[in-house]
Amino acid sequence: MSNELKDNKVSKPKRKGSKITPLPITHHASQPLNVVLDTSLFVNPDVRTSLGSNPTEALETFLFLAAQIHVLEFYMPPSIFEELLHFVERDKIPAELLLILHQKPPKKHELKTPAFLLYELIEDIRERVNKGLRVAEKAVRSAESKKADEIIQDMRRKYREALREGIIDSKEDVDLLLLAMELDALLITADHGLIKWAEKLGIRWLFPEKFKEYLMSAIKRTELIKKSLAHEPVP
């Protein structure tokens, strides 16, 4: 190392004390993490089970847990909230819901998305449209031997699979993505299309089956903070 470089070291600001004090845990608590939730967490049977045997139960469990959490703020776009209400017994859900789960639409006229995503979306759609046509062609060919009604039932399912699965295909999907972008939030959903797009947009996301675990550890952290606050001397 040259002398010049050594001398440069001298100009660094000196620490005021020798002991390094860690940031108090309360510091984190002052900025809770935003979390955006999708209906699929309460409705999709594969994901919901840890919370309840039906959507209403799952939502009740969530509310019970969320009420004990001070380190997270839960959000849902109104369009998704409306969807959720179709699946639950409304009179069983406590009004607390409105306080715990904030409803907020994204600022869709202020937000911007990277232009290269347009290419990916359009390429994706193009491929799907072609797949849809193949499905339709097969159906027409099989109509020579089977009845039209049977074939159409089967074709509808296959066509929808080809064109919709793993893609963002609704206003509600866009709402979730943009709200998560706007709030720099964690997105929790069981929808693969949404997760794929969260990846593209740099939105953090959580494996949906970890949702309950995540809530449980948020409760633990809240309790830790409460304890540390109780022991702190009043200034």
Binding site for a second copy (CB under 8 A): 106, 108-116, 118-119, 121-123, 125-126, 129, 132-133, 135-137, 139-141, 143-144, 148, 151-152, 155-156, 159-160, 163-164, 168-171, 173-174, 178, 181
Name which of 31, 71, 25, 28 is nearest 232 in CA terms: 25
CB of residue 182 to a second copy, shortest distance in Å: 9
Is the Cβ–Cβ distance between 40 and 211 less than 8 Å?
Answer: no
Please identify, using beta-carbon distances, which residue of 77 and 208 lies nearer to a second copy: 77
CB of residue 82 to a second copy, shortest distance in Å: 16
With 0-12 CB in 10 A as exposed, 13-18 as middle and 19+ as buried, what is 19? exposed
- CA dist 94 and 97 (Å) reads 6
CB of residue 218 to a second copy, shortest distance in Å: 29
Please identify, using beta-carbon distances, which residue of 57 and 154 lies nearer to a second copy: 154
Please identify, using beta-carbon distances, which residue of 57 and 169 lies nearer to a second copy: 169
CB of residue 73 to a second copy, shortest distance in Å: 22
CB of residue 128 to a second copy, shortest distance in Å: 8
Question: Torsions phi, psi of 199, nearest 5?
Answer: -55, -50
Please identify, using beta-carbon distances, which residue of 174 and 198 lies nearer to a second copy: 174
Question: What is the signed CA dihedral for 107, 109, 114, 120, rounded to 10 degrees?
Answer: 100
Please identify, using beta-carbon distances, which residue of 24 and 105 lies nearer to a second copy: 105
Name which of 171, 174, 160 is nearest 128 in CA terms: 160
Angle among Cα 183, 62, 188 to the nearest 5 degrees reads 40
| Torsion 161-165-169-170 (CA) sign | positive
Please identify, using beta-carbon distances, which residue of 202 and 233 lies nearer to a second copy: 202
Is the Cβ–Cβ distance between 78 and 108 less than 8 Å?
Answer: no
CB of residue 90 to a second copy, shortest distance in Å: 28
